[in-house]
Amino acid sequence: MPALYPGGILPPYMSSENERTLILVKPDGVARGLVGEVVRRFEARGLKLAAMKLINAPRATVERHYEEHRERPFFADVVNYLCSGPIVAIALEGPNAVKAARSMMGATNPADAPSGTIRGDLALSIENNIVHGSADAESAAKELAIWFSDSEYV
């Protein structure tokens, strides 16, 4: 039985065999020239690029993206931060893409992220933690729909 997401059952590409997840390379990652390093790691693991774009994120899009954090004290700061410079939005595809990408990123707080992970190797600050990755299949479906239209997938 496929898992449910807000719009109903998961679309075909969201089976765990061929799943999609959203990755954002945040302003610190782009400013530090780490887009290639982040993409290299995911590609080396075997995940495929299904869509990718460099953008100045519109505030309304970022607010929708972080909707679940709206009541948290850091909401305004994370929204401002994601709007503070160019970001790269990526749709990654592959078997168990959500879980694979999450484990490669390490814990949200880089201080808790083990060496070998993106945050454990490249970041020190919870806000400037280089990447965002969807937490689960349901969030991935929701977040991908926020950042990409169907026509942007290659």
**Residues that bind ligand CMP in the complex, under the rule CB under 6 A:** 69, 74, 78, 108, 126-127, 129, 132
69 versus 70: smaller Cβ distance to ligand CMP: 69
126 versus 145: smaller Cβ distance to ligand CMP: 126
Q: Fill in the DSSP letter of residue 29.
A: H
Q: How far is the CB of 24 from ligand CMP (least distance, A)?
A: 7
Q: Long-range contact list for 146-150, CB < 8 A, 24+ apart?
A: 146/61, 146/64, 146/65, 147/22, 147/24, 147/61, 147/65, 147/89, 147/91, 148/51, 148/89, 148/91
Taking a C-beta distance cutoff of 8 angstroms, is the pair 31, 85 a contact?
yes
19 versus 143: smaller Cβ distance to ligand CMP: 143
Q: How far is the CB of 3 from ligand CMP (least distance, A)?
A: 21
Q: How far is the CB of 87 from ligand CMP (least distance, A)?
A: 11
In the numeric block, the tokens 């977040």 are attached to: 143
Catalytic residue numbers, as ranges: 132
